[in-house]
């Protein structure tokens, strides 16, 4: 009996010690900050001031961001543009920065018309796994959509830790393509954060992926009207689109994504288009042209005149200049990032746009290039015209106005105080690159 008693006492003691150890571990680990900021110190690129850094988010990974303060007077009073691209396109640190409107182009020639002349620019490689942003460990799944949104909130806090002087600057969150899937929930989150909500003034969405399966239902009509396919091809595409839409309706989101992401090959191989670039349909291709997700990478290489692809440029030119470790390979985890988004990519987020319009003070600007077939304008208008918010009737009753700039018709607009939509002429997915005149005009009005 005595031995039993001793055994029980020893067991209780061991449990108590183990519990104390767990408690001590929890107390110590709970004191660790949720993120840390790692500023990069390299040999610099050009003579325009910037900050490049990683925000290391505990348990998630490193978010890369690159900030250029505006060259305009009183920079802290000027708008701060946060720019995101998403999982299937080229990262913002390359495409928006060097390809579109950053201080330098891909040849490291200074741009006279860079947006840095008027705006503070904060380029973010998101989601984690794209660009220079990398997961904490390569042997585990990359962060989901919700986890990426939380990491981007930490990134913004990290930015303010370095640049506290910008805490009162007006913020506009901007995206292109499926970057909208990060921006929309991030805006919703930031609008609820007391220490930053007043600074969030607007969201600016270029060719957004909001209800992709619904937009796809207009693709056959769109391509037939432009004579890329005939009636038989339209029937094939509509069958494809209806299957994609039904998969979304039945919440088979991963199957729907696999179907959706094969649309480029289907249109060219099964519907008779042969060699159309769905992101910019007026580009002439050959049947043998290589296309990745919707053809963006190869198109950008051609239009920018790159002698190597974007990843090689960023790895060999930009990485050493910023002082980034050789262990990080630019865009080296993209396929894993895409896999992490497969279960959420095809989910419609129209309700989230409605929430921003109804429940926040954030203004919404949407623009769509008329030569983008994936996010085709008729398909975009399908969800926009049925939005459920208090200003919808006023919005729909507004007269569509022409955008005449420098004597040329660059597009059309429909504008209310809360919601603005722009039809942009002679541009596909990459409106800032393909019609910069129209883009700068709408950006000016969106941030005024």
Structural tokens at position 192: 């609820």
Residues 2-30 have a mean pLDDT of 43
DSSP states of 195-264 as a string?
TTGGGEEEEEEES--SSHHHHHTTHHHHHHHTTSS-HHHHHHHHHHHHHHHHHHHTT-HHHHHHHHTTHH
Residues 48-67 have a mean pLDDT of 97
Neighbours of 176 (CB within 10 A): 31
Instruction: Name, in order, each residue with C-beta under 8 angstroms of 285's C-beta and a sequence gap of 6 or more.
Output: 275, 276, 277
Residues 291-316 have a mean pLDDT of 81
Q: How confident is the model at residue 10 (pLDDT cuts 50, 70, 90)?
A: very low
Residues 419-436 have a mean pLDDT of 97
pLDDT tens column, 188-245: 999 999 889 999 999 999 999 999 999 999 999 999 999 999 999 999 999 999 999 9
Residues 365-382 have a mean pLDDT of 96
Check: CB of residue 72 under 8 Å from CB of residue 161: no
Of 33, 26, 41, 126, the C-alpha closest to 83 is 126
Q: Could you give the percent of the chain with pLDDT greater than 70?
A: 91
pLDDT tens column, 124-139: 999 999 999 999 887 6
Structural tokens at position 121: 């620019």
């Amino acid at each position: 009996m005595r031995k039993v008693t001793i055994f029980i006492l020893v067991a209780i003691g061991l449990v108590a010690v183990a519990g104390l150890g767990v408690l001590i571990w929890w107390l110590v680990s709970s004191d660790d900050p949720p993120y840390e900021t790692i500023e990069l110190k390299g040999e610099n690129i050009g003579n325009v001031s910037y900050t490049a850094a990683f925000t290391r988010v505990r348990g998630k990974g490193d978010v890369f961001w690159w900030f250029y303060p505006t060259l305009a007077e009183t920079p802290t009073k000027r708008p701060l543009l946060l720019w995101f691209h998403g999982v299937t396109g080229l990262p913002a640190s390359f495409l928006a920065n060097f390809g579109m409107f950053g201080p330098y182009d891909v040849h490291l020639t200074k741009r006279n018309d860079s947006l840095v002349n008027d705006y503070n620019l904060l380029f973010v490689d998101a989601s984690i796994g794209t660009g220079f942003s990398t997961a904490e460990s390569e042997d585990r799944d990359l962060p989901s959509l919700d986890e990426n949104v939380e990491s981007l909130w930490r990134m913004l806090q990290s930015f303010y830790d370095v640049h506290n002087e910008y805490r009162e600057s007006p913020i506009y969150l901007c995206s292109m393509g499926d970057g909208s899937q990060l921006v929309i929930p991030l805006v919703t989150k930031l609008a609820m954060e007391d220490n930053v909500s007043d600074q969030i003034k607007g969201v600016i969405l270029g060719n957004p992926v909001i209800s992709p399966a619904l937009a796809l239902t207009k693709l056959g009509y769109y391509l037939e009207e432009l004579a890329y396919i005939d009636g038989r091809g339209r029937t094939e595409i509509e069958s494809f689109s209806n299957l994609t839409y039904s998969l979304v309706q039945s919440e088979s989101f991963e199957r729907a994504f696999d179907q959706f992401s094969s649309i480029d090959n289907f249109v060219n191989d099964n519907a008779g288009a042969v060699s159309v670039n769905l992101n910019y349909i007026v580009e002439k291709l050959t049947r043998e042209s290589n296309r990745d997700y919707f053809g963006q990478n190869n198109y950008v290489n051609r239009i920018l005149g790159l002698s190597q692809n974007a990843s090689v440029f960023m790895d060999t030119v930009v990485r050493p200049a910023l002082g980034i470790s050789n262990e990080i390979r630019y865009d080296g985890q993209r396929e894993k990032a895409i896999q992490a988004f497969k279960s959420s990519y095809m989910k419609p987020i129209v309700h989230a746009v409605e929430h921003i319009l109804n429940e926040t003070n954030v203004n919404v600007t949407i623009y769509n290039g008329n030569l983008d077939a994936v996010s085709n304008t008729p398909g975009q208008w399908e969800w926009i015209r049925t939005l459920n918010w208090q200003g919808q009737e006023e919005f729909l009753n507004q007269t569509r106005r022409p955008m005449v700039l420098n004597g040329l018709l660059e597009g059309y607009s429909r504008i209310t105080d809360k919601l603005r939509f722009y039809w942009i002429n002679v541009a596909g997915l990459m409106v800032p690159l393909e019609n910069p005149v129209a883009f700068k005009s709408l950006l000016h009005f969106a941030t005024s």
